[in-house]
Structure 1
Amino acid sequence: MSASKDKDTTLVPTVREVQQKFAEILSHGEDITWDLLTANQEEVLKRKLSLFKGNCNWFYRIWNQRKYTNGQSLTSLFFVLIVDNVSNPQLAEESRSWHLYPVFRCRRCVDKSGQASGIDCCMAYVTQNSSYGNWNEFLLLSDFREGLMVTPYRGVYKLIDGQVELKSYPITEQPRPGFLPKIKDCFITPESLSIASKTPVIRKKSENAVFQLVPEFCAGERMLSLLLNPDSVQKSCDLIDLSDSLVLFTQTFNNFRLAKSMLEEANCLNILVNQERSVFDKISEEAVRINGKVDLIRSSNGVPLKSELDILLQPIQKKRKPKKLPETPKEPIDVLENSPEINTVKVKGEDIDLAVYGKTLRDHIVSLESFELLITSMAEHLEPEIFKLILQLTQTFVENTREEMSQLLKYYFSTESVLYQIICSIRKHYPSWNFNEIKEQSSEILRRLRYYFASSDPNSRSEFLKKCEKCTGYYDLYNKY
């Protein structure tokens, strides 16, 4: 083998190295973690799934699992790697030739309290082609290619003394009746990642002046190439490409600052790992204060891109449709990159000090980028008195109601999610953005906000739980689904 080929081979991580990187991004020690999407946040999941090749039924298979989680979606991403022509687990973990498949683990069974799952509880597993009701079905019936599968036990990434815990399982091809079409085997390989990383990002200009990505390769392959091959001189993603792709790991649309930092630093994986660890550390600290055993649940703040916020913050005059602002490909990065944190905001010539709205409001910001995007968009569109009133409402809820809701819902929700939902409520019920009307209805806005969060509870009530016949846990079918 030539020296150049040897050099190329060293850039391909082993199976264990790949799973170690995923575990560092997706796990929190030995805890079981979940990503929460409420019933009206399906767009976040669709964005995640669009990063991979696969059929459109993938979304519906995952979204259907909400029937076990009170109408909300609780999932966790993990990856399966298949190695061909190897039967020894150690050799499989050391292999640099693999086929990678994304899988979504969905919560099904819980303990008697209805608030925590266990490693041996039934969970649903959804691949690009099928769904499985528990781990044994997943192992016996999965439609991956033949080979030795290396993956975390039951799809739960655990870091023990900093090292990912992995298990190996032989996968045999499943016979299919002759009248059924052959399932398309969608996977990612080192070769496909290499091609994606070396192919320039191509954009075209459409009639409405929006630049769109030509899908020569799925964005997931470009992003994973960057994460799994950090020593490669090729930059597989540009800023827009990477910021779009990071929703797969971050649970938020607004990742421009994170993407910019990753592209500027030599070890981009560490940037992402540190970001995700800080989020789960906050969630873990909150979970310790909540009575009883609970899972670590990371919610989505729902904050959209700036172009959507601009429309949301426009006053609507009676009998007149809102003016549709021209679309832009992405937010201007310089709005957020000048300083690590906004302290003072100029609204129509008036300087407003954010510190006056309390330490609690600032302490519970999870995505600083989403929070600053909300603040800067509000400053651009709203009058100073409305701007300050909305922050006062946010402060009131965070200081007076948030703790109660955390105890009720058993998950962490952020300041930026509160702020965004207040904006959505005003837009829906008081679309003229009249200051006097909003002020008079402040109590009603806070009441609606409390109801919104209360209705997003993913935990089943203990009196409705039924004993599972296949595991030690309990489950409930959401009766309104």
Structure 2
Amino acid sequence: MVAPLNGEYTFDENGNVNLYIKPTRKSVKKMRTVLEVQQDFANNSGFKKEIIWDLLSKEQSGMLKDKLNNLIPDQEKGNRKIVEMRKIIFDSVWAQRKYTNRNSLSAIIYVFVSDCDRKELAINAKKFSCHPVFRTRKCTTDGDSSHCCMIFIDELGRVYKNWKTYLANNELPSGLMIAPLNGIYTTDYNGHVQLEVHPTPNGSAAKQLLGVADTATAVAGFGAATIPLAAMMMTVAPALITGAGAVCATTAAYSAIRSLCNLVDRKKHEQSIGLDNSQARNAWIGVGAGVVGVGASRATNVMTRAAAAGKEISLATELLVNGMNISSIVLSGTGVANGILDLLIKYRDDEEVTSMELVQLAASLVLFTHSVSNFRMASTLVNDTHSATIQDYRKSLSNRQRKIFDKMSKETIRIKGAQQGKVDIIRGANDMPSKQYLNDLYKINKKLNEAKVRPAFGAAGEGVVLNNDVAVNTNDLRNNLQHNKGSSVLNSVTKPIPTTHSEVNAVSNSKLLIVNVNNKGDSSAQPSAVAIGMGSIVLPNNILISLSEYGTRLYEIIANTGSFDDIITTMADAFSQQTFEFLMKLAQEFVETHLEKIRNTIKIFIPAETILYRIFLYVENNCASQTYAFLHTKKQEILRSLNIYFNSLNPNSYLNKIRCDICGGSYSICNLQDFNYAQL
């Protein structure tokens, strides 16, 4: 740290400024574990046991491309490869619309790979690589895709017909892979992400043995290639030449078989096998050069032995053998040129194995986040820690204790604000290890309500306070109110119920306050729908709006509280109080009267934030006036538009169903080429 001495700019006798210099401790960013990162992904991309999908119509391909641009951002070098990677993934994901009636039904999961050798160590590893995988829907049973085959597309654009196939055939680096259970982000009843751990295929003994064989064959091939060169300049023993020929034939045959297997594998996983793809081109050249090379070598040996035996060699035979050798030269030469060109391109793009791993890791963490970009970790870390501590304390309480604890917590946050309120809640609970104070307050709760007195957690050392004024001993208070023992405690409470802290309701520039008041003891990491519905906000015109006025059904289908807060805040900023209330009531009516029928038709989960966003978008784009009087006349039009929009995204085809031999579900395949619906 460098600052003016004593906070003022002064100069010494030589005219130099006097400075205060002090070394500061270098902050070290805490490394996060695989489990912590996967928990964040589950909180932002999952919703309890629901299977969450991103539903795009065939006209919304640009949204998928934008998502890929965020997932795989441009780099300082090698952007040609990045653009190619995006295109390959897009083509593979977009092609799966054939199973979902031309609409895209997809989601992103993340698979982590650690070089640990034990499951417990892998889950808690802090050094790992991160690999995005797209999941798309294929089979259904009565419209439900649970326990059915889903298509998975990895970062290479490889397509796997189900989760088991992905686990067995992926191209992840050697190690243990940590993935969402069954390839779906779900949480248990405690809100913890459900994961599974498996060794990657490249870490298996068979793959390692194959790698050794590849290396040995390559070394032998390079060694054998030097023998003919040496024979041109010096005398080489015939046995050595014969041995080199055998190695050459073996290497060519091995290369052809490996290249053919590679092409079959690419075809199986819907990767390009055209010559415009460098990997496929290398494989085709390998197959062609190997087959022609081995054939030419065998033909030459046969002709040589025939000539040595004194047999007559026809001109046609000579032309055939020479033609085979020329073809082998052309193909192998093309392979050498193509290989060198690929090396030069990789060198130009500064591509290395470790560099690509870093590129892949950067592509997984920047989104969803809207993701991660939706976490706002720095701003929510303290709040999340406090909330988790309070939830742990709540879990230890009985139902009666939890009821009065929730009441006190809500009152504490209401009068002190979220940050200070949660601090006082935690401190108060720690200062009173016995939970008898909750039993005392529960017994006299009715009398406190009649006296218009509310208990809350006080500041440090105060314990329980009444109306944020008088600190009390709950046992004395109970004896006084129930048994008339001692002097009247309530007479000492002179102040009325305190006003609400300004932080609680101000949302025009901040998040809505979410207070968990679920009395059922659900300790899910995601706030309960009822708790969210009981929150309140203040619009920019300082009018208080109670969200509980719009029913609970709307809040039971909130998948992402951050996105819900964003759209509510946006609507509050954009519209007047009357318009805001009307649109919220409109959303409530849609959910309560239309949503169930739509969900039964399209068979997917539609969250509340998506419904509100579509209402907001329709009003912004289609309504010349946004006054309550005008929008009220457009009510049925807006509802009709919502019905049309969500039904248009129906991923279910009414073509002939095909029964899946793997999962027992069914699927249909439609033609992805555009056609005229009027012809139906």
For normalisation by structure 1, the TM-score amounts to 0.57
Q: How does 1:105-184 map to 2 (within 5 A)?
A: 105-118=134-147, 121=149, 123-134=150-161, 138=166, 142-145=170-173, 147-148=174-175, 150-152=177-179, 155=183, 164-171=195-202, 172=207, 176=279, 177=282, 178=335, 179=338, 181=342
Q: In 2, distance between residues paired with 1:17 and 1:441?
A: 47
Q: How does 1:226-237 map to 2 (within 5 A)?
A: none
Asked whether the equivalents of residues 46 and 59 of structure 1 are also in contact (C-alpha less than 8 Å), the reply is no
Provide closer, same or farther for how the CA distance between residues 42 and 117 of structure 1 changes in structure 2, counting only shifts above 3 A: farther
Provide closer, same or farther for how the CA distance between residues 444 and 412 of structure 1 changes in structure 2, counting only shifts above 3 A: same
Q: 1:141: how far off?
A: 6.1
Aligned to 2:584: 391
Secondary structure, counterpart of 1:116 in structure 2: coil
Q: 1:159: how far off?
A: 8.1
Q: Which amino acid aligns with 1:377?
A: T
Aligned to 2:572: 379
Is 2:97 the counterpart of 1:77? no
CA shift digits 1:146-193 (9 cap, x unpaired) = x3453558645788998743222432468552447479677799x96x
Q: Which amino acid aligns with 2:56?
A: T
Q: How does 1:360-379 map to 2 (within 5 A)?
A: 360-379=553-572
Q: In 2, distance between residues paired with 1:381 and 1:28?
A: 29
For normalisation by structure 2, the TM-score amounts to 0.42
Aligned to 2:608: 415
Q: In 1, distance between residues paired with 2:382 and 2:591?
A: 35
Aligned to 2:599: 406
Is 2:81 the counterpart of 1:61? no
Q: In 2, distance between residues paired with 1:254 and 1:91?
A: 29
Asked whether the equivalents of residues 219 and 245 of structure 1 are also in contact (C-alpha less than 8 Å), the reply is no
Aligned to 2:293: none
Q: How does 1:274-289 map to 2 (within 5 A)?
A: none
Question: Where does structure 2 lack aligned partners over 5 or more consecutive residues?
Answer: 1-27, 74-81, 212-257, 260-278, 283-334, 393-505, 515-531, 674-680
Provide closer, same or farther for how the CA distance between residues 393 and 160 of structure 1 changes in structure 2, counting only shifts above 3 A: closer
Alignment match of 2:70 (pick from 44, 47, 50): 50
Aligned to 1:283: none
Asked whether the equivalents of residues 653 and 668 of structure 2 are also in contact (C-alpha less than 8 Å), the reply is yes
Provide closer, same or farther for how the CA distance between residues 259 and 480 of structure 1 changes in structure 2, counting only shifts above 3 A: farther
Provide closer, same or farther for how the CA distance between residues 390 and 348 of structure 1 changes in structure 2, counting only shifts above 3 A: same
Q: In 2, distance between residues paired with 1:142 and 1:436?
A: 58
Q: In 1, distance between residues paired with 2:606 and 2:184?
A: 23
Provide closer, same or farther for how the CA distance between residues 93 and 406 of structure 1 changes in structure 2, counting only shifts above 3 A: same
Q: Which amino acid aligns with 1:425?
A: Y
Identity of aligned residues (%): 21
Q: In 2, distance between residues paired with 1:17 and 1:343?
A: 31
Alignment match of 1:358 (pick from 535, 551, 569): 551
Structure number having the greater helix percentage: 2
Asked whether the equivalents of residues 109 and 473 of structure 1 are also in contact (C-alpha less than 8 Å), the reply is no
Q: 1:362: how far off?
A: 3.9
Q: In 2, distance between residues paired with 1:137 and 1:454?
A: 32
Provide closer, same or farther for how the CA distance between residues 111 and 125 of structure 1 changes in structure 2, counting only shifts above 3 A: closer
Q: 1:423: how far off?
A: 1.9
Q: 1:448: how far off?
A: 1.0
CA shift digits 1:37-83 (9 cap, x unpaired) = 32348637744662456532233432332332231322341305264
Provide closer, same or farther for how the CA distance between residues 382 and 266 of structure 1 changes in structure 2, counting only shifts above 3 A: closer
Q: Which amino acid aligns with 1:132?
A: V
Provide closer, same or farther for how the CA distance between residues 423 and 345 of structure 1 changes in structure 2, counting only shifts above 3 A: same
Asked whether the equivalents of residues 171 and 201 of structure 2 are also in contact (C-alpha less than 8 Å), the reply is no
Alignment match of 1:246 (pick from 343, 353, 369): 369
Q: In 2, distance between residues paired with 1:474 and 1:142?
A: 25
Alignment match of 1:438 (pick from 594, 618, 631): 631
Asked whether the equivalents of residues 23 and 164 of structure 1 are also in contact (C-alpha less than 8 Å), the reply is no
Provide closer, same or farther for how the CA distance between residues 21 and 267 of structure 1 changes in structure 2, counting only shifts above 3 A: farther
Q: Which amino acid aligns with 1:474?
A: S
Q: In 1, distance between residues paired with 2:47 and 2:512?
A: 31
CA shift digits 1:292-316 (9 cap, x unpaired) = xxxxxxxxxxxxxxxxxxxxxxxxx
Q: Which amino acid aligns with 2:156?
A: N
Q: In 2, distance between residues paired with 1:368 and 1:20?
A: 15
Larger Rg over CA atoms: 2
Asked whether the equivalents of residues 144 and 185 of structure 1 are also in contact (C-alpha less than 8 Å), the reply is no
Asked whether the equivalents of residues 115 and 460 of structure 1 are also in contact (C-alpha less than 8 Å), the reply is no
Secondary structure, counterpart of 2:144 in structure 1: coil
CA shift digits 1:216-271 (9 cap, x unpaired) = x94755x7xxxxxxxxxxxxxxxxxxxx663347xxx7444x65223665699x79
Secondary structure, counterpart of 1:359 in structure 2: coil
Asked whether the equivalents of residues 128 and 186 of structure 1 are also in contact (C-alpha less than 8 Å), the reply is no
CA shift digits 1:326-358 (9 cap, x unpaired) = xxxxxx997224733652433646555444333
Asked whether the equivalents of residues 360 and 398 of structure 1 are also in contact (C-alpha less than 8 Å), the reply is yes
Secondary structure, counterpart of 1:74 in structure 2: strand
Q: How does 1:21-36 map to 2 (within 5 A)?
A: 33-36=51-54
Q: In 2, distance between residues paired with 1:359 and 1:95?
A: 38
Aligned to 1:335: 509
Asked whether the equivalents of residues 466 and 475 of structure 1 are also in contact (C-alpha less than 8 Å), the reply is yes
Aligned to 2:658: 466
Provide closer, same or farther for how the CA distance between residues 137 and 375 of structure 1 changes in structure 2, counting only shifts above 3 A: closer
Question: Where does structure 1 lack aligned partners over 5 or more consecutive residues?
Answer: 1-7, 193-214, 224-243, 275-331
Q: In 2, distance between residues paired with 1:11 and 1:333?
A: 32
Asked whether the equivalents of residues 78 and 104 of structure 1 are also in contact (C-alpha less than 8 Å), the reply is yes
Q: In 2, distance between residues paired with 1:168 and 1:154?
A: 15
Aligned to 1:260: 379
Q: 1:449: how far off?
A: 0.6
Q: In 2, distance between residues paired with 1:108 and 1:246?
A: 21
Q: How does 1:202-241 map to 2 (within 5 A)?
A: 218=362, 220=364
Q: 1:417: how far off?
A: 1.9
Q: Which amino acid aligns with 1:168?
A: P
Q: In 2, distance between residues paired with 1:392 and 1:159?
A: 31
Asked whether the equivalents of residues 344 and 353 of structure 1 are also in contact (C-alpha less than 8 Å), the reply is yes
Provide closer, same or farther for how the CA distance between residues 333 and 440 of structure 1 changes in structure 2, counting only shifts above 3 A: closer
Is 2:669 the counterpart of 1:477? yes
Asked whether the equivalents of residues 35 and 74 of structure 1 are also in contact (C-alpha less than 8 Å), the reply is yes
